[in-house]
Chains A and B, each alone.
Chain A
Amino acid sequence: MPVFRTVYRRPRESGGPGQTVAGSATLDSRLRGSESATGSALLEFRAVDTYYGDLHVLKSVDYRIAAGEIVCLLGGNASGKSTTMKAIMGSVVPRRGDIIYEGHSLGGVSTAERVRRGIAPVLEARRLFPRMTVWENLEMGAYTRRRGPEFDEDLARVFVLFPRVEERLHQLAGTLSGGEQQMVAIGRALMARPKLLCMDEPSMGLSPAYVEQVFDIIRTINRQGVTIFMVEQNANMALQVADRAYVLQTGQVVLSGAAAELRETELIRHAYLGELKLA
């Protein structure tokens, strides 16, 4: 019986079920059982609370992303997806809870240091530097690194993934189409040689053809060993590419589990459309 968890979920003790509206224990454990118990966690959110002024945005949120996975973060408007990305990069500082990367807390770690440690962002709406060339944008991606053979390797890899990028290397980034910009944005992030790639809505504003390309590339990059944590509105596409998914609704994780299973249920739709059962 498909059900969904309400917003009144208590912070989850490890292994315990959250409160639900009607008995859903079966689905609960089924969904949670598919979480990676094996594989070390590359990134973890532990009971993270963030605020915007006095507005409680993320409410005791837990994520666990194992190395090598593609995990997507889904949810409707104003659910806290972008804030999650910002918290990982360090623009937003949690008021409570902890963000753990490679076993160490990211508390107090600067954005630049996080990039150096291997977290790179692909920003919402690309946000390339419009009056710098494609080449300069790629260079900026590698800002925290030294030039050298590794840099050249990564550049070559980017060119292989994105031949169009190489074609347009000396064009001003602002003159590229949306899809081309997205390629450059991903390439720019890859130039940081990241272990964890944080993508904020990679498919937004792209034509269906480009959306397919982007998701193809995500798979390829992942096969090359990059862990991917992806925020997406386009749940259907995201679930076809991801291993696991979390679903946010008004700042709380209301669903989590294997992408394959979430694809089948109606729960996603309920969560997306912000459906709320009140006492």
Chain B
Amino acid sequence: MRSTRVTLPRDWTLGLFGRIPARMRTPLGIICLTAAALLFPLVNGSDADIDSAANALAFAALALGLNIVVGFAGLLDLGYAAFFAIGAYAYGVASSWQVQPEWSSFWEPFRWLDLVARYHQAGGDVVHFQVSFWLMLPIAAAIAAFFGVLFGAPTLRLKGDYLAIVTLGFGEIVPIVARNTPSITNGAMGLNGVAAPQLFGYDFGVNATPYYYVGVALVAFLILTSQRLKDSRIGRAWMAIREDEIAAATMGVDRVRFKLLAFAIGAAFAGATGTFYVAKLQTATPEMFMFPVSVMVLVMIVFGGIGSVWGVVVGALLLQILQSWFLEDLSEWLHAFGRLVHIDWLQRVQLASSIELIFGLILVLMMLYRREGLIPATRRVSGLSLEEQTAEIGRGGFDGLTAMAAWDRADSGPLLEISGLTVRFGGLVALRSVELSIPARAVVAVIGPNGSGKSTLFNAVTGLVPADGAEIRFAGHDIARLRPHEVLERGIARTFQNIRLFPNLTVVENIMIGMHARLAAGPVGALLRLPANRREEAAARERALEILSLFGNRLLPRADHLAGSLSYANRRRAEIARALASQPRLLLLDEPTAGMNPAETRELADQIQSLNRHGLTILLIEHKLDVVAMLANTVIVLDHGEKIAEGPPEVVRRAEEVIRAYLGRSAALASV
């Protein structure tokens, strides 16, 4: 019997690939890629092709930069080309004959450093800027970063689409200013005579090959930087901001600092790329930096995969190849076909000029059908074994809480004191002159009917809501006017009534963001990955896993799953774990057992109790009053924003005012 199965050549290569151990795949892949990149100009001798490749690399670099702002930090920047322009004109002015101020002694030290030269002219001596390309790369990046902060600062409080419009505005203003200040930029005619880079005496000239290699090096460096930032405390902070700004702030992320950092680093990428691009072209015109360029880079990252480092590189390269090679070839084929079938229009079509139309189509189609892009940023996860899927309800709470910080051991006065807390939303008074004192190591429950102000109380303590003239003292220090991330730093962590995890990050990443304020790595450390940083990261991840393991096998097997994929109860647990990761002294739990069945409720109640026994002070909003009875030393009852009762659970439960608050006043109605 003849076998009807056909073995395709593909099987053979797949088999080869499968035989490489997984550990080796990534480094091997990178080596192959590097080799291909380095050998390319030798294989393909055409200068035009190499030049196209160099352009493609420039856009890959831009895509990487925009990816940081849009993909990592979630800030939609529609004016990214402005930074490209700034870097370009910075090098252009610093290395061409465009700007020639009069000579004076001020310029002497610069001449000594060989940054400028003195030229004799009929009207007097002038300065000629001749800053080296290599020096200008980081300088232009720095200048662009400065403008990144400048343009980003006004947008900090705006929501997504307004932010986009403001950045669009800046993105448009820059090239128009460039066009209208011909003294510096030579306006629409373009900056000419930009000096080509020189390396050890070798002048790059107009040959595309040296630029190509510089481009490869630039992109490689930027890929490394992006990847390192992404897998660091910085990247996590950015992604937390992207996912849920408010939750990020309450977990210790300084939103202002990190948003500006994203703008700055993203702009720096574009600034350096601007310098590279202009050096290659040896000219710069405002048209090179207008809105269509910003859109093009946006299309590249959407196409490649927002948030994915390799994805945006692939997206940029593919679209550039499409534009410069494929469309040309396709046009040729269409011309030939047109000649064949005698259709005049086909013979004249120029697909390359319709590249923008194609970009528009790609953008729309990707948004409709594949928003995550070609190479999605989130990874696939492995399935769970049956054992990992079932969890037994444990009792008795946590053991092994040694990972926690040193908590309050001694009863040393009240931990949290609130007085005169009034919160108004427009005309509505959500909290009225609330007073509260929580001793260390206590469990205090806050109860009350809907709308009584319980969550507002939490929001006021954690700095999410302004507290008019109130005094809020934590361990003796006034925290009333601190911003949310500062409150977390002091030692107050919280969960939210409607669970605010970061859904597109893994469970472990969520927990590690809880640690944000307790880690020290900055952008430089993240980039260099010094031994101290690596130790810190490893220790952080280990601690995160330890915290997850407190919840038995409910969370630990799902450590690398996306937080959004967890069940409701597990998401509650993960949120509590994230709060614990910040080593708080006071934990604010907002309806932690909501949505849990009685057994799960009891389990969590035990766990909360064991946390308290180890020294954690707990303030708890809870509706299930037997949970309250079990856990709380003191119960505070709020109604319509006022505290109407305070005392031990048993007493409060039977108090007249409390019952009336819940069940409503029975007014003197005429009976039916």
Residue from the list A56, A215, A274 in contact with B669, Cβ < 8 A: A215
A7–B602 CA distance with the chains assembled, in angstroms: 14
Are B665 and A237 in contact, CB atoms less than 8 angstroms apart?
A: yes
Are A76 and B662 in contact, CB atoms less than 8 angstroms apart?
A: yes
Are B595 and A234 in contact, CB atoms less than 8 angstroms apart?
A: no
Which residues of A have CB within 8 Å of B567?
A: 54
A241-B669, A274-B626 given; 6 more Cβ-contact pairs under 8 Å: A211-B665, A237-B669, A241-B672, A272-B663, A273-B653, A274-B624
User: In the complex, which residue of chain B has the Cβ closest to the Cβ of A215?
Assistant: B669
Are B664 and A233 in contact, CB atoms less than 8 angstroms apart?
A: yes
B568 within 8 A of A: yes
Which residues of B have CB within 8 Å of A232?
A: 664
A8–B568 CA distance with the chains assembled, in angstroms: 20
Which residues of B have CB within 8 Å of A53?
A: 568
Map CB proximity to A onto B576-619 as digits: 1 under 8 Å, 0 otherwise: 00000000000000010011001101100000000000000000
Which residues of B have CB within 8 Å of A275?
A: 624-626
B396 within 8 A of A: no
Residue from the list B591, B594, B672 in contact with A240, Cβ < 8 A: B672
Residue from the list B653, B666, B672 in contact with A236, Cβ < 8 A: B666
Residue from the list B451, B626, B653, B665 in contact with A234, Cβ < 8 A: B665
A233–B599 CA distance with the chains assembled, in angstroms: 27
| Residues B631-672 near A (CB distance < 8 A) | 653, 659, 662-667, 669, 671-672
Which residues of B have CB within 8 Å of A208?
A: 665, 667
Which residues of A have CB within 8 Å of B667?
A: 208, 211-212, 237
Are A278 and B451 in contact, CB atoms less than 8 angstroms apart?
A: no
The contact size tier of chain A is 35 or more
The contact size tier of chain B is 20 to 34
B603 to chain A, nearest CB (A): 11
B449 within 8 A of A: yes
User: In the complex, which residue of chain B has the Cβ closest to the Cβ of A236?
Assistant: B666
Are A236 and B626 in contact, CB atoms less than 8 angstroms apart?
A: no
Are A269 and B663 in contact, CB atoms less than 8 angstroms apart?
A: yes
B458 to chain A, nearest CB (A): 15
A53–B565 CA distance with the chains assembled, in angstroms: 11
B450 within 8 A of A: yes
Which residues of B have CB within 8 Å of A272?
A: 662-663
| Residues B267-288 near A (CB distance < 8 A) | none
Which residues of A have CB within 8 Å of B450?
A: 77, 233
A168 within 8 A of B: no
Which residues of B have CB within 8 Å of A238?
A: 664
A86 within 8 A of B: no
A55 within 8 A of B: yes
User: In the complex, which residue of chain A has the Cβ closest to the Cβ of B629?
Assistant: A275
B111 within 8 A of A: no
A180–B201 CA distance with the chains assembled, in angstroms: 85
A140 within 8 A of B: no
> When A and B form their complex, which 10 residue pairs have the shortest distance between CB atoms, in order from nearest?
A234-B664, A236-B666, A235-B663, A55-B568, A273-B625, A274-B624, A236-B664, A274-B623, A55-B595, A278-B598
User: In the complex, which residue of chain B has the Cβ closest to the Cβ of A234?
Assistant: B664
Which residues of B have CB within 8 Å of A54?
A: 567-568
Give 15 pairs: A residue, B residue, CB < 8 Å, sorted on A: A8-B598, A76-B449, A77-B623, A208-B667, A212-B667, A234-B665, A237-B664, A237-B669, A238-B664, A240-B671, A241-B672, A269-B662, A274-B625, A276-B624, A278-B601
A17–B449 CA distance with the chains assembled, in angstroms: 31
A277 within 8 A of B: yes
A190 within 8 A of B: no
Map CB proximity to B onto A41-71 as digits: 1 under 8 Å, 0 otherwise: 0000000000001111000000000000000
Are A277 and B626 in contact, CB atoms less than 8 angstroms apart?
A: yes
Residue from the list A215, A240, A276, A279 in contact with B601, Cβ < 8 A: A276
Which residues of B have CB within 8 Å of A219?
A: 672
A13–B544 CA distance with the chains assembled, in angstroms: 49
Residue from the list A78, A204, A237, A279 in contact with B594, Cβ < 8 A: A78
A165 within 8 A of B: no
Q: Among B601, B653, B669, B671, find the residue whose CB has the most chain A CB atoms closer than 10 A.
A: B669
Are B662 and A273 in contact, CB atoms less than 8 angstroms apart?
A: yes
A181 within 8 A of B: no
A274–B653 CA distance with the chains assembled, in angstroms: 11
Residue from the list A215, A240, A278 in contact with B599, Cβ < 8 A: A278
Are A235 and B664 in contact, CB atoms less than 8 angstroms apart?
A: yes
Are B669 and A78 in contact, CB atoms less than 8 angstroms apart?
A: no
Q: Among A208, A212, A237, A273, find the residue whose CB has the most chain B CB atoms closer than 10 A.
A: A273
Which residues of B have CB within 8 Å of A203?
A: 664
| Residues A237-279 near B (CB distance < 8 A) | 237-238, 240-241, 268-269, 272-279
Which residues of B have CB within 8 Å of A278?
A: 598-599, 601-602, 626
Which residues of A have CB within 8 Å of B568?
A: 53-55
Which residues of A have CB within 8 Å of B662?
A: 76, 233, 235, 269, 272-273
A152–B52 CA distance with the chains assembled, in angstroms: 75
Which residues of B have CB within 8 Å of A77?
A: 449-450, 623
User: In the complex, which residue of chain A has the Cβ closest to the Cβ of B626?
Assistant: A276
A77–B628 CA distance with the chains assembled, in angstroms: 15
| Residues A199-244 near B (CB distance < 8 A) | 203-205, 208, 211-212, 215, 219, 232-238, 240-241
User: In the complex, which residue of chain B has the Cβ closest to the Cβ of A241?
Assistant: B672
User: In the complex, which residue of chain A has the Cβ closest to the Cβ of B601?
Assistant: A276
Are A240 and B625 in contact, CB atoms less than 8 angstroms apart?
A: no
